[in-house]
Structure 1
Amino acid sequence: MKIVFVDGYNVINSWPNLASIKEHNFEGARQKLIDILQNYVSFKGYKVFLVFDAHMVKGALENKERIGDLIVVFTKYGETADSFIERSVNKIGRKSDVCVVTSDSLEQQLVFQRGATRKSSLEFFHEIQNMNHGITRRINSNYADGRNLIEDLVDKNILNTLDKMRRNG
């Protein structure tokens, strides 16, 4: 399974739609990014760590909230999102397919040296847009040809499991 680390505030500041939300409602921008990444996780089947800095919040402890294969992390006091991501990539090493989403060029170089691929926040923005367009096209084509089959909407592994359950009683 591919593992993706997303520098949350870097993405919020880089994406035009989230940056404009942030100007009026910082928590709203965070929640919108969480919602977007929940869809991304569901569509791609990746494990995603969305990492937010809490290094300036005195007394803050590392906090992780799991939403399916999306893990939202707030770093502890004194730890940046970059250092959390570097530490995590070091632990994983080259055993897994790891991608880091950030526009911080130094961070991109460091994680690349540790075996991870890197993607800028704007590249990720375009990937998300393309994914959303693909989902829309898929839905529209299913409606256009009169097909509304559950097998078009459900993961193949889940369908296979349900079929085995049906056969075995």
Structure 2
Amino acid sequence: MKEYLIIDGYNVINGWSELKRLAEESLEEARIELVERMAEYQSCKGVHVVIVFDAHMVKGTMEKTETVKGIKVVFTKERETADSYIEKFIVQLSKRHRAAVVTNDWAEQQVVLGGGATRISVRELIIDYSAIKNNIQRKTEILQQQKDSLSNRIDPLVLEKLEKFRRRS
């Protein structure tokens, strides 16, 4: 059974202090950064991430869906909020898959729970994302130490021969 994480894009940007500061400079940059972070999250957690941005106030817009770095990014159509898109999406999705929605909107959380999905607050997402980043950093440091310690223990002539052999392969 596939797992989905549906994100209320602007709600998350406004609830994540780093992204909110970035949005004050450029909303586009904040959206790009959210997608970047969720691409990392998706690859580590093994969930399918869908980010929904509402364009309901933009005249004449049609729904637009694109895939960016493996993340499904949806811009709603005119007069459709991210909340209403997510509500419809959850009803379809929760019949066959597990789904969680990230939002701080209390009313939306209640609808999500009623639709068969779970809810995650923005704060919980930030904590989980930070834990993943710290775990990756620790593993990288350990691997670097192991690499450094191995090369320090090998005779320099043997190391040079191994490096020449590696380059020929």
Aligned partner letter, 2:93: I
- Contact 2:35–2:68 (8 Å) recurs in 1: no
Are 1:91 and 2:92 an aligned pair?
Answer: yes
Give 2:105's aligned residue. 104
Offset of residue 95 of structure 1: 2.2
SS in 2 for 1:77: coil
Are 1:58 and 2:59 an aligned pair?
Answer: yes
SS in 2 for 1:49: strand
Aligned-CA RMSD value:
1.3
SS in 1 for 2:50: strand
Give 2:156's aligned residue. none
Give 2:6's aligned residue. 5
Task: Tell me how far apart the structure 2 counterparts of residues 98 and 136 of structure 1 sit (CA, whole Å).
Answer: 28
Give 2:116's aligned residue. 115
- Contact 1:6–1:101 (8 Å) recurs in 2: yes
- Contact 1:49–1:72 (8 Å) recurs in 2: yes
SS in 2 for 1:98: strand
Q: Which has the larger radius of gyration?
A: 2
Q: 1:39-50, aligned counterparts within 5 Å?
A: 39-50=40-51
- Contact 1:94–1:116 (8 Å) recurs in 2: no
The number of residues matched between the two structures is: 147
Are 1:78 and 2:79 an aligned pair?
Answer: yes
Aligned partner letter, 1:60: T
Offset of residue 39 of structure 1: 1.1
Offset of residue 68 of structure 1: 5.0
- Contact 1:46–1:69 (8 Å) recurs in 2: no
Task: Tell me how far apart the structure 1 counterparts of residues 145 and 114 of structure 2 sit (CA, whole Å).
Answer: 47
Offset of residue 142 of structure 1: 1.4
Identical-residue share of aligned pairs (%): 39
TM-score (norm 2): 0.83
Q: Which runs of 4+ in 1 moved over 2 A?
A: none
Moved more, 62-71 or 15-24: 62-71
Give 2:152's aligned residue. none
> Cα 1:68–1:34, aligned 2, differ >3 Å: closer, same or farther?
closer
- Contact 2:55–2:76 (8 Å) recurs in 1: yes
- Contact 1:22–1:29 (8 Å) recurs in 2: yes
Task: Tell me how far apart the structure 2 counterparts of residues 125 and 52 of structure 1 sit (CA, whole Å).
Answer: 19
SS in 1 for 2:41: helix
TM-score (norm 1): 0.83
Structure 1: runs of 5+ lacking an equivalent: 148-169
